[in-house]
Amino acid sequence: MYLDLSIYVIRNSTFKPIHISSADIFLANGLTADTLGFKLDSIIDQDLGPSVCTQVKITFTHVFGRTVFDSLIIMNDCQKNIIPLTGNGGIPDFTIGTYSFDCTLLDSVKFSNGYFITVPISIPVSIDSLWVDDMTNFGIDPNNALNKLPIFIPADGYHEVIISFHPHSAGLIKTNIHAKSGKVVKTDTISGVGCANASVIADGYSSELPKTSAEYFTISLQLTRGGDLVLLPPTPNPVTNGRNSVRFIFGLGSAATIDLSLYDILGNNAAKFIGNSFYQAGIYEVSLPIPSNLIEGTYFYRLSTGSKVLSGKLIIIR
């Protein structure tokens, strides 16, 4: 939060023009990750005539309610001027803990609670507002006693709130959660994974691979977590002398028309492995021949469904 804006005036007190640039003006400390602090809010690059003034804008950005010290340094060929800077946030601070929900079945609700809002300094805080951006998949029940506003948190204390996760789509879902105390708003991210329905998890996917294989497990896990198209690295790679085929394993979360082609480094189509063929949802294993007329070198395979494209490098050694 920007708390203050200061202006420092530089005046040319000589009898000849001088040039002032951002390389001559800087802060000793500047913004730091822990306390933030002072920041030069203007870039100066100009000539100053005799008795002409210019301004340096300094913004004070602070999180913790304690004093921060810095120095504005102005240099030229002859001297170095150091101007001390002092700032204090003067307001209580708090943090929002990060939540991550495990895989939750679609259209089911999972609740999470914990030490969510903490006060790391010796000043009490009152939380006036608490909300999430995505109110479709996440929720904060205002009728729950732990979520009743305002929430008073003592100095060096914490407060747990109840967050719900109700996924309506598969895959990773993220949103921002915000807490407001006075004019201070803090934001963090909460996330969850929506899983496919129970029948999909129980029955698994149609597969040309054994359902006990590592490849099946890897692809089915990604499909269950919302992946529409999954492709494992082809084998062998490189394709060495004596080998005339390459093995591809891919998975589809829903039925789609796919194209699998090979391109040279100039982007020219070198081979069409699968040409716009319709596949049902499932996991597939295909061994495709390498055309004998392809010269040794680096190629790029490209698997697409129209809405999604996966690609990688394939090396052929003759």
pLDDT in tens, 163-185: 999 998 877 899 999 999 887 88
Segment holding 200, helix H or strand E: helix 198-203
pLDDT band at 128 (very low <50, low <70, confident <90, very high): very high
Q: What share of the chain is helix, strand, coil (3-state, %, to 5)?
A: 5, 55, 40
Contact 239, 290 (CB under 8 A): yes
Q: Which residue has the tokens 């690609």?
A: 311
Q: Is the dihedral of CA 287, 290, 296, 301 positive or negative?
A: negative
Give the bridge partners for 221, in sequence order. none
- 138 has a pLDDT exceeding 90: yes
Compute φ and ψ for 20, nearest 5 degrees.
-115, 130
Domains within the chain, CATH numbers bracketed: 2-88 (2.60.40), 95-195 (2.60.40.10), 204-316 (2.60.40.1930)
pLDDT in tens, 244-290: 889 999 999 888 899 999 999 999 999 999 998 999 888 999 999 88
Compute φ and ψ for 101, nearest 5 degrees.
-85, 140
- 4 has a pLDDT exceeding 80: no
pLDDT at 1: 36
Q: Choose among 106, 125, 240: nearest CA to 170.
A: 106
Segment holding 220, helix H or strand E: helix 214-224
pLDDT at 3: 43
Whole-model pTM: value is: 0.44
